[in-house]
Amino acid sequence: MALLTVENLTVGYESATGMVKAVDDVSFTIDPGTSLGFVGESGCGKTTIGMALMGLLPDNAAVLNGRIILGDQEITAMSEDDLRKIRGSEVAMIFQAAMNALNPVVRVGEQVAEMIITHQGHLSPADITTKIEKLFDLVEIPRNRMNDYPHQYSGGMKQRAIIAMALACDPRLIIADEPTTALDVVVQDQILKEILKIQELLDTSFVFISHDIAVVARVCKKICVMYDGKIVEAGTREEVFQSPVHPYTRELLGSYLTLDNCRHVKVPRINSRWEQKGWDEGCALARLCDNPLDPCNSMSPGWRELSPTHGVRCFREASPE
């Protein structure tokens, strides 16, 4: 049975110009112990999906359609009280390290303890301390730093503390929203290794959100590429990397500099928000396409399954050579 099932999720934000759809008819499933990555440029809706999975959408956002089912509970139908019970214990979130994600006036150890006390309050203080110590060992933060304040931690340490906090109650699913974006590459590497280690040791599933497809590919076996609220291509990382079908995916991959291709790199053209026309009048990416087909400008492409694991939203039959 799938751990997480998302069916036709549509999330909109109220803005000065009306309801804007940030997530448009998105469906996917995650099995226990696997990881799914979401890649896309800013504003494609990936962070909104992460927030929606925890029921943490801001006040001006609403789930317009669809369902989110975690195990046997429907998140989209739960009350705030029930959601609070599962936040942290069943599904936890890891934020960007650059964010001020830790309370500056409370010691780090206490903040992790707070997570445990809220959901596993029956544990004795001694047990809680042991648990925190084990968590810190797991994420490789020295035990003697437990009682420090967040400003005394480096960026990488803060991120590891946030990871420890997310793991505290053994959640079944962890949503990681750009966890390495603000870190330098060395620390980024450490954190990714950390996450891989956790994936091996524990049975936690990950939803990994990033704009960096290389980072996502390291950690996730399955990848979804998003654009303007819809998934344009989804598949295993081998399928997406070795045989991408959607032109957008190909451009994302092709924009990576390596020693071999650095002279021929083509960066995907960035459409400003004003030029984006959405999916209502055809493919939202039609403008970026080199040679769009006829239906691309008038009809919205549907989802096509190329294999049980690989799907794409495009009118093209096969990847042009």
Partner 1 sequence: MRGLILEFIIKYGYHVNMSHNFGFINRFSSSWKIFIQNPLGKAGLSILALFALMAFASFWVHLLGPMYDPMTGVDPAVSHSVGPNTSHWLGTDFIGRDIFCQLMEGAKIAFIVGLASAFISIVIGTVVGMVSGYAGGIVDMLLMRMADMVMVLPSLVILLIIAALFGQLNIWMIVFLIAILRWPAVARVIRSQTLSLKHRPFIEASRVAGASNMRIIFKHIMPNVLPLAFLYMTFRVTSAILVEASLSFLGFGDPGQISWGMMLQWVWSSGHMFQAPYWLLPPGICISLLTLSFYMVGRAMDEVLDPRLRKEGKE
Partner 2 sequence: MNRIVFISKKAVELFILFFLILTVLFFLFRLAPGDPVTRMVDPMLTPEDAAHIIEQMGLDKPLITQYVIYVKNFFTGNLGFSFHYGEPVVQVIMARLPCTLLLFTTSTLLAALAGVFLGKISAWKKGSRLDGVLSISALVCHTLFVPWFALMMLWILGFKVGWFPLGGIISPELWIEESSFLVKTLDVLHHMLLPLLTLFIIHVGSYLLLMRSSMLSVLKEDYILTARAKGLTDRVIRNRHAAKNAALPVVTSVGLSLAFSINGGALTEQIFTWPGIGRELIFAVSNNDYPLAQGCFLLIAAVVLSANLIVDLLYAWLDPRIHY
Binding site for partner 1 (CB under 8 A): 13-16, 60
Decide whether 88 or 311 has the Cβ nearer to partner 2.
88
Q: In what order do the strands lie in the sheet with 73-74?
A: 18-30, 4-15, 61-70, 73-74
**Contact residue for partner 2 among 8, 19, 56, 193 (CB under 8 A):** 56
Residues between 69 and 98 that touch partner 2 (CB under 8 A): 83-89, 92-93, 95
CB atoms within 10 A of CB 68: 21
Q: Indicate which of partner 2, partner 1, none lies near residue 14 (CB less than 5 to 8 Å, by partner kind).
A: partner 1
Closest approach of partner 2 to the CB of residue 34, in Å: 22
Closest approach of partner 2 to the CB of residue 95, in Å: 6
Token pair of 55 as six digits: 């029921």
Q: Indicate which of partner 2, partner 1, none lies near residue 84 (CB less than 5 to 8 Å, by partner kind).
A: partner 2
Residues between 182 and 241 that touch partner 2 (CB under 8 A): none
Amino acid at the residue 257 = L
CB atoms within 10 A of CB 317: 10
Decide whether 84 or 211 has the Cβ nearer to partner 2.
84
Burial label for 86, CB within 10 Å (0-12, 13-18, 19+), is: buried
String of DSSP letters for 154-201: -HHHHHHHHHHHHHTT--SEEEEESTTTTS-HHHHHHHHHHHHHHHHH
Q: Indicate which of partner 2, partner 1, none lies near residue 16 (CB less than 5 to 8 Å, by partner kind).
A: partner 1
**What is the total count of residues that contact partner 2 (CB under 8 A)?**
28
Contact 179, 188 (CB under 8 A): no
Q: Which residues bind partner 2 (CB under 8 A)?
A: 54, 56, 83-89, 92-93, 95, 99-106, 114-115, 118-119, 149, 151, 162, 165
